[in-house]
Amino acid sequence: MTSRHLTLSLCRHLTSLALLATTGLALAQGVSTKQILIGQNITLQGGRNEYGTAVMDGIHAHLQDVNARGGVNGRQIVLKTLDDDNKSSQAEANARALIEQHKVFILFGSIEGGPSTAVMKASAELQVPFFGPMAGSPTLRRPHQPLVFPVRAEHRDEFRVLLEYIRNTGGKRVAFFRADSDVGLQHLENFRRLCQELGLELVLDLPFKSDISDAQLSAMAGRIASANLHGVINHGSAGLYEKLIRQTRALGNPTPFMGVNSGSTQLARHLGELAHGMLFAQVVPSPWERKTELTREYQEAFRRHKPGVDFSYGSLEGYLTAKALVAALRLAGPSPTRESFVQGILKVGALDVNGLRLLYQPGDHAGLKLVDLAIYSRDNRFRH
């Protein structure tokens, strides 16, 4: 090879290196030519949180299919998941670590109100979008959070549906089982306003700490048994709610207990016969029925990726939220940035997920407004 050819070859090589360097600099944090790294903080509690595990099953079922088909614009979607152990302080620390140490593109997919609010705090301070928190906390929408994009409806919408049922069936006196926290107080304020609007009486406010003792739960059960209530409603914490229901039923009291969607599949299964006749608000369609395009697709994907695992509301919500994430990533364009991710969502105003419309407009990131009522029947099924 002549010196002229060597010089030309060296120039081409240096040009290629320069282009690669420029391309690398142009790519956003968490984005490479082959993948998009998504940061997830979620409450798994080392596998003890059944609802969190179900959510993850649904998320993985969809993302595996997406990646098998080439990902989003040729990039694989990779999750970096950290477990907050249902502790808000750990959730915030995890979110910061995902952004600052693991260099993720965006934050995604937490559960539980307290941890999700903590992730939101890190998202706002570090200016990183937070997509698909699977919690019903009012903090995720009010005041408006421009970088937070919930998918599911909030608990306030679930409370309304349950309270309207109590009113429409002749009931009046209700109780509210809620966390003794800042988020729990906001839920209480929404619950009070709905009661006033619907002409119901909030007889008992039942706040609890995460370390509440069996003796304290027993005392709550005694208050419920003597209050002549027409309904008790929770805002989450399925494990503690199960204990409260068992303690109340042990007193021979028939007060109706009702629940929000979070952990409802697991709660009903654990309670068994004690759950028969319980009403639950649900923020996704029935995962066991095939009446919607979403559930038909979910069932087929879930059977492939999680053979032998039962369908559940949690896994369907995870599947739906992962589908919405992928739709949003596609809108961010072939060279996604955090800015193009946000602007892509707001430009279309609504994400269409199998015919379900998730609404996102400047000043109002409503997401999905769907809330259904489901009863747990004597044949151990949820019927919408």
Compute the average pLDDT of residues 228-235.
96
> Would 381 be classed as within a structural domain?
no
> Would 265 be classed as within a structural domain?
no
- Shared domain for 106 and 41, answered yes or no, is yes
Cα distance between residue 240 and residue 212, in whole Å? 8
- Shared domain for 148 and 182, answered yes or no, is no
Using the CB atoms, write b or e for 14-28: b if 16+ within 10 Å: eeeeeeeeeeeeeeb
Outline where DSSP puts E strands in the chain: 35-42, 76-83, 106-108, 130-131, 148-149, 173-179, 201-208, 231-234, 257-259, 279-282, 350-353, 356-361, 364-367, 372-376, 382-383
Domain containing residue 203: CATH number:
3.40.50.2300
Residue 337 scores a pLDDT above 60: yes
- Summarised one tens digit per residue, pLDDT across range 57-108 is 999 999 999 999 999 999 999 999 999 999 999 999 999 999 999 999 999 9
Residue 111 scores a pLDDT above 70: yes
SS3 state of residue 379:
coil
> Would 30 be classed as within a structural domain?
no
Pairing status of strand 257-259 against strand 279-282? parallel
Q: How confident is the prediction for the chain on average, in pLDDT? A: 93
Which residue range forms the structural domain that includes residue 223? 155-260
- Shared domain for 134 and 168, answered yes or no, is no
Q: Which two tokens stand for residue 12?
A: 């081409």
- Summarised one tens digit per residue, pLDDT across range 35-50 is 999 999 999 999 999 9
For residue 185, the tally of other CB atoms under 10 A from its CB is: 14
- Summarised one tens digit per residue, pLDDT across range 312-330 is 999 999 999 999 999 999 9
Compute the average pLDDT of residues 112-137.
96
Nearest partner of 47 among 24, 2, 81, 16, judged by Cα: 81
Nearest partner of 43 among 97, 84, 72, 88, judged by Cα: 84
Residue type present at position 167? R
Outline where DSSP puts E strands in 229-293: 231-234, 257-259, 279-282
> Would 355 be classed as within a structural domain?
yes
Mark which of 203, 237, 260 sits at the end of a domain: 260
**How many structural domains does the chain have?**
2
Mark which of 260, 279, 313 sits at the end of a domain: 260
- Shared domain for 342 and 357, answered yes or no, is yes
Residue 7 scores a pLDDT above 70: no
Residue 367 scores a pLDDT above 90: yes
- Summarised one tens digit per residue, pLDDT across range 179-224 is 999 989 999 999 999 999 999 999 999 999 989 999 999 999 999 9
Cα distance between residue 364 and residue 368, in whole Å? 12
- Shared domain for 61 and 147, answered yes or no, is yes
- Shared domain for 42 and 127, answered yes or no, is yes
The reported pLDDT for the residue numbered 26 is 66
